[in-house]
Every structure is written in structure tokens, then in C-alpha cells.
Chain A
Amino acid sequence: GAGVSQSPSNKVTEKGKDVELRCDPISGHTALYWYRQRLGQGLEFLIYFQGNSAPDKSGLPSDRFSAERTGESVSTLTIQRTQQEDSAVYLCASSSYPGGAEEQFFGPGTRLTVL
């Protein structure tokens, strides 16, 4: 596809359950980013991948959050033992490197609701 894709588009889960969110970046983009957007708020950085390594995971809010990436393609963000405060839209972005962080292209996001 031409753009960043994410799945599922919507996820409703019960408190305490684990969830996995998927991101397919633009083909050829080596850098991949995860952000979280709470209702009415700007985006909060979570983690950055260059290839399959994560040099910056400073934004992960707790050890319940983890992410991995296979090569220079798909990434999954996993939230364990979900809490109601995890409810947000989770956005993935990719960019070509060394084109850099200034030109990040975003997917449509996964809207997570924790009941």
C-alpha cells in the first residue's frame, strides 16, 4: 500500500486484558515511531525504531507497554494488563532515513477503549 496502515482500527477490551496493536510502515521506510493521543490532546511519543532496534523507548509509560519490530517492516505494540487510563488513539508513523524525524508519515491510528 501507499501509506502507513494500522490494525485494528478500533479495539474495545476489558480492564486487565492484554492487547496487541499492529503497524505496517511505508515500504522502504527504515524508521518507525509509536505515539499515543488522548482525547483532546496532542501526541505523546512512545518509542522509536531504526530497523529492528529501538534506540529510544523513553516515552513508554510503564513496563506494561512493550513494542517490537520485525526487520524493517511490521511493528507490534503490546499493552499488558490494560487500565482505563490506557484508552487513547495509538498512532504509528514511519520515515525514510536519513530523511529523518522531520518527515514522519502517520497511519490512521488504533482507537483503544478499556472498559
Chain B
Amino acid sequence: QKEVEQDPGPLSVPEGAIVSLNCTYSNSAFQYFMWYRQYSRKGPELLMYTYSSGNKEDGRFTAQVDKSSKYISLFIRDSQPSDSATYLCAMNIQGAQKLVFGQGTRLTINP
């Protein structure tokens, strides 16, 4: 079993929809949780990161962490075609340098 599980999709939604992306994990020592966006043939771009449990909002993006359930989510409001990309969750243990990634979810926003 992988340490971090992420549904690879693909996920296709109409423009303007609310998108929910999720990851589950097995290692309770993870403390930092990141979401990256990766466009085709590009490197991943950090969207946001969260420490421990709770919510964090940045514009149209909201990250949620539920450590009791070992479950993290990224919500995208008012989705745009430019949001079409692969979204990767990542996490690490405090003080460790190695990030552990999910498989990535491929998202398409249809105009």
C-alpha cells in the first residue's frame, strides 16, 4: 500500500463548477501538507501548504486537512479552463526534507 493515495482521475467538470480533490495517507507522522499544480510537460508549481489540521484559503483555492481521518482536500471555486492541469498532493514529516507525493489527479475544466 502506498503511503499517499490519490485518485488519478481523469476528472472533467464544466467551467464555474466547484472542484474537490482529495488524498488519503497512512503515516500519522506527516505534519505538512502541500498541493502542487502541474501543467503538461512542466514542473510542479506549489499552490499552497498547510501545517497540521485545519483550513487555509488563497483566492479561489481552499486546502483542508483532517489529521484524525488522514484525509486532505483541495477545493477550487469558480473553476476556469486555465485550471486544467494535474494536481499533486504531497506531505512530509516535520524536520524531514523528503516530500511524499500522491499519484496526481488529472483535471479538465470544460468551457
B49 touches A102 (CB 8 A): yes
Q: Number of contact residues on B: which range applies?
A: 20 to 34
A104 touches B43 (CB 8 A): no
Is B29 positioned at the interface, with any CB of A under 8 Å from its CB?
no
Rounded to whole angstroms, the CA-CA distance of A19 and B100 in the bound complex is 26
Is A41 positioned at the interface, with any CB of B under 8 Å from its CB?
yes
- B10-54 toward A: CB 8 Å interface, digit per residue (1/0)? 000000000000000000000010101000011111100101000
> Which parts of A64-115 form the interface with B (CB within 8 Å)?
91, 93, 100-109, 111
Set A43, A55, A107, A111: member contacting B88, Cβ < 8 A: A43
| Chain A residues bordering chain B, tally (CB within 8 A) | 29
Shortest distance between the CB of B37 and any CB in chain A (Å): 11
Rounded to whole angstroms, the CA-CA distance of A36 and B55 in the bound complex is 30
Q: Contacts A40-B103, A101-B92, A102-B32 given; indicate if A45 touches B44 (C-beta within 8 A).
A: no
B104 touches A42 (CB 8 A): yes
- A43-75 toward B: CB 8 Å interface, digit per residue (1/0)? 111001010000110110000000000000000
B97 touches A56 (CB 8 A): yes
Shortest distance between the CB of B19 and any CB in chain A (Å): 19
CB-CB nearest in chain B for A109: B43
- B100-111 toward A: CB 8 Å interface, digit per residue (1/0)? 111110000000
Rounded to whole angstroms, the CA-CA distance of A100 and B93 in the bound complex is 11
CB-CB nearest in chain B for A101: B97
CB-CB nearest in chain B for A50: B97
Rounded to whole angstroms, the CA-CA distance of A109 and B42 in the bound complex is 7
Interfacial residues, chain B to chain A (CB-CB below 8 A): 4, 6, 8, 32, 34, 36, 41-46, 49, 51, 88, 90, 92, 96-104
Interfacial residues, chain A to chain B (CB-CB below 8 A): 4, 31, 33, 35, 40-45, 48, 50, 55-56, 58-59, 91, 93, 100-109, 111
